[in-house]
Structure 1
Amino acid sequence: MPLSSTTLKLEDELKARVKKLADVRDRTPHYLMVAAITEYVAREEQRESFKQEALDSWREFQETGLHLTGDEVNDWLQSWGSEAEQGSPLCHK
């Protein structure tokens, strides 16, 4: 995968903190910054995916009216792992 340089401007205090942590972890500041950015981007992508899934579900509910109540879902989940485990409930209007 091709790499390219990017410049970050950090406050001196943050830069010193990154350097100190890198020294303690026997890593370079560059390694820590790449790891932090990678984790942040992955987390934010997951958040956006979750948000989009929720919006899609809301649109589908608005179009169809099909839903489950919280109690129905809770009862189903509470049955998991028991002898009386239930199949997933059917959506209804």
Structure 2
Amino acid sequence: MATSLKIDDVLKSRIQNLASQRRRSAHWLMLDAIQQYVEREEARESFKQEALSSWAAYQETGRHLTGEEVRTWLNTWDSDEEEAPPECHE
């Protein structure tokens, strides 16, 4: 799929300068930037959908953990007394 981008001369010059400094082509630099953006936005959307799903489950069941319960559990990570995750409750 061929796609073209229209960028202003100032940005084009900046891209070319950076590409030269990095010893990469301007094309490579732009593809890398687009890939990073898409991956970041996909992760953000996934996080948002997970949060909405969790909120819907909470509204349906009322089951939850308090912030203090989670902090207490997380504080055991990477220690000899690492605990299993706490059980959700109403």
| TM-score bracket for the superposition, by shorter chain length | over 0.9
Say which of 65, 78, 82 aligns to 2:79.
82
Residue identity opposite 2:44 in structure 1: R
Size of the aligned set, in residue pairs, is 90
Relative to the length of structure 2, the TM-score reads 0.94
Relative to the length of structure 1, the TM-score reads 0.91
> In percent, how many aligned pairs have the same letter?
56
**Consecutive unaligned residues in structure 1, runs of 5 or more:** none
2:51 — aligned with what?
54
RMSD value, Cα = 1.0
In structure 2, what is the Cα distance between the partners aligned to 1:40 and 1:12? 22
CA deviation vs aligned residue, 1:5-49 (integer Å, no higher than 9, x gap): 211111110000000111111111111111100110011000000
2:17 — aligned with what?
20
CA deviation vs aligned residue, 1:54-91 (integer Å, no higher than 9, x gap): 00000000000000000000011112233333221110
In structure 1, what is the Cα distance between the partners aligned to 2:9 and 2:19? 15
